[in-house]
Structure 1
């Protein structure tokens, strides 16, 4: 069955947003091969192998893609490297590897009448002749399954060991979270008096790299609740109806582990405006998400839905209606106390000398958390390079940070340039009032 083009398009967008996500990139490569687009699949595999040349799954899929485009020498090179690194020897002939996402199936043979008449009830039969890959290299490529073949181990609810006390600064974000989730949960009698429900959702939006995922995890830790993180590759599937089933199973996992925080990252890719979709498969996923959040057939009491996005204007408006993601919270670049704490954190295991953290925090306004981590990394590289040249190690000093500041600029400005237009001309119901206030305060209007 040919994969739905809208699923491939959504996965491509997700890969562009998260270039380091190797399982997601290989999932996309498998779908591209199945869709008859092996050249594009080969590009995805080459990107993975550029980062991890010994990645067995990437070598296997790359060999298949190279065969499909007719580049036999390249395919043989991938195949030899795959075998040399410990992968199982490929079968002979023109099909050196099973198709992406499927295992090699042995030819049928006559049944052994001396065996159990119900072999499917006996011990599990190995899925293929290949050794099981390491958990870090496993790619979630699932085949279509019948209604009775459920996989309850695909999604696990973890118990985070961090709380909002581990989030530096961001006092307004913490206050809004306390009103929306924490206070009602910690005061059941007060909640009952005012009729406050424990269902509903909160949409975290803001520029990339500002800690939306970390805040969601810390919220679960503050509540003492379980945490289920959902990415695009956890939901989308190439088989008809499987994406909707995956989404239902995710919500069922959260309901079984309540109180539970169910976190959807990059919700704009999963819950994109249906008016922007050409294919029906993407609209069906959004409809399923709406149905799960409406709790028509199940009780979501104690299930807190948090979602994060860099593009709230692309989220389907139905997802932001009452009872769903009906509250919106702007997560901005860290303030000065948070920046100082982040700089200290990212430098905590490095040799330092006379670092003026307060000065650095004042010079890094508008820097995201990711920018600050990059700044510390760049300063360390400068000190290490000079140490290697001199043959003598030295600590990281202020001059290293000042040099890094000249090279690394805030990465969030393009996001604010785009967000400004939506805040000015698409602020229906005052949903972007917080953003407008920030833009005015920073003189970005």
Structure 2
């Protein structure tokens, strides 16, 4: 920019000449942050994380630029003071005394938490949720699916890479998006690729991670998921099998799941708050029609992307990946791609596995080791029944009779194109 100080101008020129020089880019980001230009600092830190995923300095700088405190460094034995006095008493209901009166064990979720000599809770020193560091998977590693990539770019990546345009159009660095489609088509892989593109941590959550037998703990677990993500920002929260975590409350009655859905709604409302800056929420489901309607209203998971069985380029990439370490000869990928139309990513992996089994068994019978050939792959492909067909049978009814407000227009378009409607 023409009004940049001389040092920043020089650094911009140097970074343009050596875009992969992470320390140089971080030095520029630090100067921008000190100059009060947080958006530009975030953009530079994000590019640095793309070149060096997991770089602690880059993540800390991005967190400061977003207004979030940097992650606390791990404590060492020298940093952990020995208790100088007995633990302070905890307030609240005494579960231990109550358990002794009734002769039962203390409920595991309500056991007394040790308190340090300084009065702080030891459990606050570390997050209870496993947060993955920024990975190396990128959207470029996802074969084909250009429509999906374009939607992801518009929702998350373009605003991050263009801070000035983001500020001009009032686009925040937060949001929610729902992936839906038949099983085995790579929704989880796409979510990880988005986290890699953002240079963000990845926190995957399923219903088994949240549900608890003790009243109130499931809601608390859901809240802790989002609190962890805020501390680790930038972070992608991936809600797997959303139909289980966010089932329609009209079907849950007064069970504990109803309260979990209410808590999830409350946390998603925080997407519009400054506290959730840098928290990106992705969710996936095979049955979006079973998800509570309130979760899909504007401001929550209002944007949806249909993830379909892989197209031709995607099938070629998947087949090439699963055959890369296997002994093959005279394999015509182009022909194999054509005969596997309609198969999901999981189906294609099974085709390669079944072909390998055929060659292995033949080698055992004949006593002569042979390569996996086109004949094995074609035979395996002919034996595989597309796993997505039952899903399309159910989705067809929804598309025909329950497409309220055009919610499933993209599904209708696909079904008509494939002559399934």
Asked whether the two chains share a fold, i.e. TM above 0.5, the reply is yes
Q: Counterpart in 1 of 2:318? A: 342
Deviation at 1:394, TM superposition (A): 0.6
SS of 1:196's equivalent in the other structure is coil
In the other structure, the counterpart of 1:88 is: none
Partner SS state of residue 109, structure 2: coil
Kept in 2, the 8 Å contact 1:156–1:253? The answer is: no
Alignment correspondent of 1:305: 281
Aligned equivalents of 1:235 and 1:355: distance in 2? 46
The Cα RMSD (Å) is 2.1
| Structure 2 counterpart of 1:168, from 143, 157, 180 | 143
Aligned residue in 2 for 1:182: 157
Q: Work out which of the residue numbers 111, 126, 130 in structure 2 matches 1:156.
A: 130
- 1:403 aligns with 379
Counterpart of 2:404 (choices 410, 419, 428) is 428
1:293 aligned partner: 268
Residue in 2 aligned with 1:373?
A: 349
Paired position in structure 2 for 1:281: 256
Q: Which runs of 5+ in 1 are unaligned?
A: 1-114, 122-140
By how many angstroms is 1:343 displaced?
A: 0.6
Partner of 2:109: 143
Call closer, same or farther: CA 1:192–1:339 in 2, change over 3 Å. same
What is aligned with 1:87? none
User: Which 10-residue stretch deviates more, 403-412 or 150-159?
Assistant: 150-159
Matched, 1:253 2:221: no
Distance in 1, Cα, partners of 2:163 & 2:397: 42
CA distance in 2, matches of 1:381, 1:405: 13
Task: Work out whether residues 199 and 323 of structure 1, in 8 Å CA contact, stay in contact via their aligned partners in 2.
Answer: no
Tell me, in whole angstroms, the C-alpha distance in 2 between the residues paired with 1:168 and 1:145. Answer: 49
- Post-superposition Cα deviations, 1:194-228, rounded to whole Å, max 9, x if no partner, equal 11122220000000000000000000101111111
Per the alignment, do residues 156 and 416 of structure 1 end up closer, same or farther by CA in structure 2, a change over 3 Å counting? same
1:262 aligns with 2:231: no
Deviations 1:368-391 (A, max 9, x none): 000000000000000000001111
- Preserved CA contact (<8 Å) 2:127 2:228: no
Match of 2:177 in 1: 202
Matched pairs, number:
312
Shift of 1:280: 3.1
- 1:146 deviation in Å? 6.2
Cα 1:146/1:178, change in 2 over 3 Å: farther
Cα gap change, 1:316/1:150 in structure 2, threshold over 3 Å: closer, same or farther?
farther
User: Among 265, 290, 297, which residue is 1:321 paired with?
Assistant: 297
Q: Is 2:368 aligned against 1:392?
A: yes
CA contact (8 A) 1:260 1:302 kept: yes
Structure 1 CA distance, aligned partners of 2:111 and 2:394?
42
Partner of 2:194: 219
Closer, same or farther: CA 146–312 of 1 in aligned 2, 3 Å? farther
Q: Would the aligned equivalents of 1:266 and 1:309 in 2 still touch at CA under 8 Å?
A: yes
Structure 1 window deviating more from structure 2 (421-430 vs 214-223): it is 421-430
Normalising to structure 1: TM-score of the pair?
A: 0.67
Checking the alignment, whether the CA contact within 8 Å between 2:192 and 2:202 is kept in structure 1 is yes
Structure 2 CA distance for aligned equivalents of residues 397 and 247 of structure 1? 50
Structure 2 gap segments, 5+ residues each? 1-82, 90-106, 114-120
Q: Is the 8 A contact 1:142 1:237 kept in 2?
A: no
State which of 82, 86, 94 in structure 2 corresponds to 1:118. Answer: 86
Residue pair 1:340, 1:361 contacting (<8 A) in 2 also:
yes
Give the equivalent residue in structure 1 for 2:335.
359
